[in-house]
Structure 1
Amino acid sequence: MGNTIVGSIKHLPINCISYILKTLLYYFYCFPIIMRC
């Protein structure tokens, strides 16, 4: 318990979390495909 990362995530709005997840999905999924071209 007392994890600062988990605590900070709980204080974020749902829109913020969804935006971060979409950004991570883009960088880890779409970006490598673009680099292969």
Structure 2
Amino acid sequence: MRPVLLPLALAIATVSTAGSLYYSEVAGYLPCEMCWYQR
């Protein structure tokens, strides 16, 4: 496995989770069922 892939995967997961939390907590959107499982 290339050394850059693990930090890239971590960055993608972090941005996805932060985006989901932003939309549900700040913007007021209700999270979908899959978002609940992700958290």
Give the alignment's TM-score, normalised by structure 1.
Answer: 0.52
Which AA in structure 1 matches 2:21? Answer: Y
CA distance in 2, matches of 1:16, 1:31: 23
Give the alignment's TM-score, normalised by structure 2.
Answer: 0.51
Aligned length: 27
Q: Which structure 1 residue ranges, 4+ long, deviate > 4 Å from structure 2?
A: none
Percent sequence identity over aligned pairs: 4
CA distance in 1, matches of 2:14, 2:23: 12
Larger proportion of helix: 1
Ranges in structure 1 where 5+ consecutive residues have no aligned partner: 1-9
Return the index of the structure with the highest Cα Rg.
Answer: 1
- Higher relative CO (CA 8 A, sep ≥ 6), structure 1 or 2? 2
Equivalent position SS for 2:27: helix
